[in-house]
């Protein structure tokens, strides 16, 4: 049996990422912040430059050849990215990112509630006391838009609890999702624990009561094989910049009957409102870049990427667990996860840990990672997060663990 | 001195481990309290200033809060600075104008990206925070207590 590392040619992959030649504070860069934003392989940078230097023009308008070429590339990009998540091209809408995609859904539901849609949209309308279910593990991007929608419509937010090990409590999910539930919005992979959510269970519970499911796939799409139709979710959002692609682009997937009925932000297929379609049509070089990114990942094979990164995640957690004074957030056994681990160092603030690692060339995220409710639930205000990518080596993890092992001594945490 | 040591001087680590004035005084006399948060990292500080009845002199600064070593040390150093200079004035506290000038001077140095140092004569232990100004992501940490004092004084 071959190990995941041997399936991926790490040396070749690392050569594809120009930024890995950079140094950080005089040290070779060890980039463990892919959960915040991914580094881009050269093919992505080249695709954007090629488009801008050879094909750039306005898409879906104008009769000249260049416009036709640009339109074709734009729509090819949609088909490529849609295919990457198992979707048909018409079921993918470009947005500026996942936050915009989730807001788009929330505002569309709000508009349906206000009666601003075709008759088919009435099914989305919320009544006071209707419930929108989220989880305690959500990123603010999959929480605040729903809180705002609730405030506008009189609906009520309910949250599925997590256990102390940050896994979702399925019994609580079963009791929270009820006949009053109209929307169930949840993350595919927690951006704090790296744990994969039980999507099938939640989708079943939501379906039983006829609730709409909205999946935040920001931390899953870059790291594991994703097939939204197979997962059975109604809608899903992800960002391009976490998916080895450019900033400023993301996508909303929706089952076609949902996209067609959602008013008036979405009027079906890839067509969105006047306002939004204008901005989407400027995302052409970004769409072409994102398509190059997903082709790059498909070339590596997402199954192999997931196996490798899960192995890295398990190594990080196993290593961190052994360091005195370190607490792993989401220290659960036998769960599916990505290559991401958050932790707290007793007696040393996350900012100080991050600064200490930075001096060793190691880039990590510090703070609440836009997931305050989960931090509060785990009794913390901030943590340190290390997240891997396709280019992360075993040595990178060793360097991280060595750094974390030294941090309490440096700050005199035991004194 | 490597980059890290120019930031985390021994004095900073000492203050963060054994902070000065980290217990809110009661509200006897003329006091004002300010709560400041750094939304990025969740750090927060509650700082209370006591001034003389005519508002012309700053008598003491106490605080409580949670945060990184820089924010904790900075609050501690600020509290110690007010105590130290107040004692030099025979325990009568620091003239309000001197405190205002120090807050301004501290802010200017912290925003200078390492070009304006803090002198020990004026800022006492807080001069050790000079190195923070080269770490732009950490300037807010060091400023938190000083902004709280500025805010509290406006209302004292």
pLDDT for residue A4: 54
Does position B46 have pLDDT exceeding 80, yes or no? Answer: yes
Of A80-89, B75-84, B86-95, which gets the smallest average pLDDT?
Answer: B86-95
Residues of chain A with pLDDT under 70: 1-6, 264-281, 415
Query: For B3, which of A25, A368, A381 is closest by C-beta distance?
Result: A25
Last residue of one domain, picked from the residues A276, A297, A318? A297
**Of A379, A395, A304, A306, nearest to A344 (Cα)?**
A379
Same domain, A142 and A26: no
Closest to A198 (Cα-Cα) out of A162, A234, A242: A162
Question: What is the side-by-side strand order in the sheet with A365-367?
Answer: A326-329, A340-345, A383-387, A365-367
- Residues A383, A281: Cα–Cα separation, whole Å: 38
Domains in chain B, number: 1
Asked whether residue A169 is domain-assigned, the answer is yes
In a domain, A138, yes or no: yes
A415 found inside a domain? no
Over 80: is that where the pLDDT of B40 sits? no
Which domain, by its residues, includes A406?
4-41+301-410
Burial (0-12, 13-18, 19+ Cβ within 10 Å), A379: exposed
b/e code A165-204 from CB counts within 10 Å (16+ = b): ebbbeeebbeebbeebbbbbbbbbbbbbbbbbbbbeebbe
d(CA A365, CA A353): 10
Kindly state whether residues A134 and A200 are assigned to the same domain: yes
> pLDDT for B95-152, tens place per residue?
999 999 999 999 999 999 999 999 999 999 999 999 999 999 899 999 999 999 999 9
Answer yes or no: do A161 and A218 share one domain.
yes
Residue A255 included in any domain:
yes
State whether A109 and A136 are in the same domain: yes
Residue range(s) defining the domain that contains residue B83: 3-155
d(CA A220, CA B95): 58
3-state DSSP percent of chain A in helix, strand and coil, to 5:
45, 20, 35
Q: What is the DSSP string of A222-234?
A: TTS---HHHHT-S
> Which of A282, A297, A312 is the last residue in one of the domains?
A297
Q: Are residues A224 and A266 in the same domain?
A: yes
Q: Are residues A239 and A269 in the same domain?
A: yes
Contacts of A352 in chain B (CB under 8 A): 8, 68-70
pLDDT at A319: 98
Q: Are residues A90 and A188 in the same domain?
A: yes
- Is residue A54 a part of any domain in this protein? yes
Question: How many whole angstroms separate alpha carbon B148 and alpha carbon B156?
Answer: 12
Which tokens in the block code for residue A178?
């009820």
- Quick: pLDDT tens for B4-33: 888 898 999 999 999 999 999 999 999 999
Whole-angstrom Cα distance, residue A410 to residue B60?
32
Looking at residue A273, its pLDDT comes to: 42
Minimal Cβ distance to A411: which of B67, B69, B141: B69
Task: Note whether A289 and A360 are same-domain residues.
Answer: no
Taking any CB pair shorter than 8 Å as contact, residues of chain A touching chain B are 25, 348-352, 355-356, 359, 366-368, 372, 375, 381-382, 410-412, 415
| CATH number (domain holding residue A264) | 3.40.640.10
Q: How far is B117 from chain A (nearest CA, A)?
A: 21
Check whether residue A379 and residue A270 sit in a common domain: no
Residues A111 and A244 in one domain: yes
CB B125, CB B15: distance < 8 Å: yes
Report the 10 Å Cβ neighbour count for A412: 15
A91, A155, A160, A202, B131 from A178: Cα distances, Å: 28, 14, 12, 12, 56
- Residue B56 belongs to a domain with what CATH number? 3.90.1010.10
* Boundary-marking domain end, from A265, A297, A329: A297
ipTM: 0.88
Please state the domain count of chain A: 2
A268 shares a domain with A142: yes
In this predicted structure, what is the pLDDT of residue A328?
Answer: 98
User: Under DSSP, is residue A273 helix (H, G, I), strand (E, B) or coil?
Assistant: coil
- Which residues make Cβ contacts (< 8 Å) with residue A355, sequence separation at least 6? B4, B7, B8, B135, B138
Which range (B32-46, B57-71, B72-86) has the least confidence? B32-46
Angle at A200 between CA A194 and CA A203, to 5 degrees: 110
Q: What residues contact B30, with CB distance under 8 A and at least 6 apart?
A: B50, B51, B52, B53, B55, B156
Q: Given this model, what pLDDT does residue B1 score? A: 43
Please name the residue of chain A whose CA is at the shortest distance from the CA of residue B44. Answer: A381
Which pair of structure tokens corresponds to residue B47? 């700082």
Q: Contacts of residue B8 in chain A, CB cutoff 8 Å?
A: 352, 355, 410-411
A85 contacts A221 by C-beta, under 8 angstroms: yes
Residues A105 and A245 in one domain: yes
Q: Do A382 and B41 touch (CB under 8 A)?
A: yes
Say whether pLDDT at B42 is over 80: no
Half-sphere exposure of A222 (CA within 13 A, CB side): 30
Question: Mind telling me how many Å the CA of A411 is from chain B's nearest CA?
Answer: 7
Q: What is the pTM of this model?
A: 0.91
pLDDT, mean of residues B77-99: 90
Helix ranges (H only) for A154-198 are 170-176
Check pLDDT > 60 for residue B41.
yes
| Residue A343 belongs to domain with CATH number | 3.90.1150.10
User: CA of B105, closest CA in chain A: separation in Å?
Assistant: 25
Degrees to nearest 5, angle at CA A42 with A36 and A47: 100
Contact at 8 Å (CB) between A66 and A275? no
Residue A271: predicted pLDDT? 46
The answer to whether A283 and A128 are in contact (CB under 8 A) is no
Sign of torsion, CA A162 A165 A167 A169? negative
Query: Which tokens in the block code for residue B43?
Result: 């750090």
Residues of A involved in catalysis: 370
Question: Can you tell me the mean pLDDT for B26-46?
Answer: 90
Q: How far is A259 from B37, CA to CA, in rounded Å? A: 41
Q: What is the pLDDT of residue A293?
A: 98
């Amino acid at each position: 049996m071959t190990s995941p590392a041997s399936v991926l040619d790490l040396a070749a992959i690392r050569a594809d990422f120009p930024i890995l030649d950079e140094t950080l504070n005089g040290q070779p860069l060890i980039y463990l912040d892919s959960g915040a934003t991914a580094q881009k392989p050269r093919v992505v940078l080249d695709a954007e430059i090629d488009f801008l230097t050879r094909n750039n023009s306005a898409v879906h308008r104008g009769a000249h050849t260049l416009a036709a070429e640009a339109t074709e590339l734009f729509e090819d990009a949609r088909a490529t990215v849609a295919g990457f998540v198992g979707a048909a091209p018409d079921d993918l809408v470009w947005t500026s990112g996942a936050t915009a995609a989730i807001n788009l859904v929330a505002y569309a539901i709000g508009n349906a509630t206000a009666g601003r849609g075709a008759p088919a949209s009435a099914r989305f309308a919320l009544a006071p006391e209707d419930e929108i279910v989220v989880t305690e593990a959500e990123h603010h991007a999959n929480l605040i838009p729903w809180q705002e929608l609730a405030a506008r419509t009189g609906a009520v937010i309910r949250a599925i609890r997590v256990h102390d090990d940050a896994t979702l409590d399925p019994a609580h999910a079963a009791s929270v999702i009820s006949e009053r539930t109209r929307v169930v919005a949840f993350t595919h992979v927690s951006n704090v624990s790296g744990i994969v959510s039980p999507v099938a269970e939640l989708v079943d519970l939501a379906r039983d009561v006829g609730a709409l499911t909205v999946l935040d796939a920001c931390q899953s799409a870059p790291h594991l094989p994703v097939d939204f139709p197979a997962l059975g979710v109604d809608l899903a959002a992800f960002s391009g910049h976490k998916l080895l692609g450019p900033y400023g682009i993301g996508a909303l997937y929706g089952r076609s009957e949902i996209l067609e009925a959602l008013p008036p932000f979405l009027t079906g297929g890839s067509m969105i409102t006047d306002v939004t379609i204008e901005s989407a049509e400027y995302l052409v070089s970004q769409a072409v870049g994102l398509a190059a990114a997903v082709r790059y990942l498909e070339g590596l094979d997402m199954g192999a990427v997931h196996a490798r990164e899960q192995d890295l995640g398990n190594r990080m957690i196993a290593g961190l667990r052994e360091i005195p004074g370190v607490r792993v957030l989401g220290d659960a056994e036998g769960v599916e996860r990505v290559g991401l681990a958050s932790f707290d160092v007793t007696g040393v603030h996350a900012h100080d840990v991050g600064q200490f690692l930075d001096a060793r060339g190691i880039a990590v995220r510090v703070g609440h990672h836009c997931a305050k409710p989960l931090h509060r639930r785990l009794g913390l205000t901030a943590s340190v997060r290390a997240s891997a990518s396709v280019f992360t080596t075993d040595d990178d993890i060793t360097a991280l663990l060595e750094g974390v092992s030294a941090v309490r001594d440096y700050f005199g945490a035991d004194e | 001195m490597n980059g890290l040591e120019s930031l985390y001087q021994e004095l900073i680590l000492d203050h963060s481990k054994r902070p000065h004035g980290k217990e809110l005084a009661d509200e006897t006399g003329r006091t004002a309290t300010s709560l400041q948060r750094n939304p990025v990292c969740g750090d927060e500080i509650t700082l209370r200033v006591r001034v003389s009845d005519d508002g012309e002199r700053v008598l003491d600064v106490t605080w409580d809060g949670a945060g990184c070593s820089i924010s904790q040390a900075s609050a501690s150093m600020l509290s110690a600075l007010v105590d130290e200079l107040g004692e030099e004035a025979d325990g009568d506290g620091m003239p309000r104008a001197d405190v205002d000038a120090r807050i301004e001077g501290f802010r200017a140095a912290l925003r200078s990206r390492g070009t304006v140092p803090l002198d020990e004569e004026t800022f006492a232990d807080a001069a050790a925070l000079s190195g923070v100004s080269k770490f732009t992501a950490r300037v807010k940490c060091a400023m938190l207590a000083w902004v709280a004092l500025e805010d509290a004084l406006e209302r004292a």
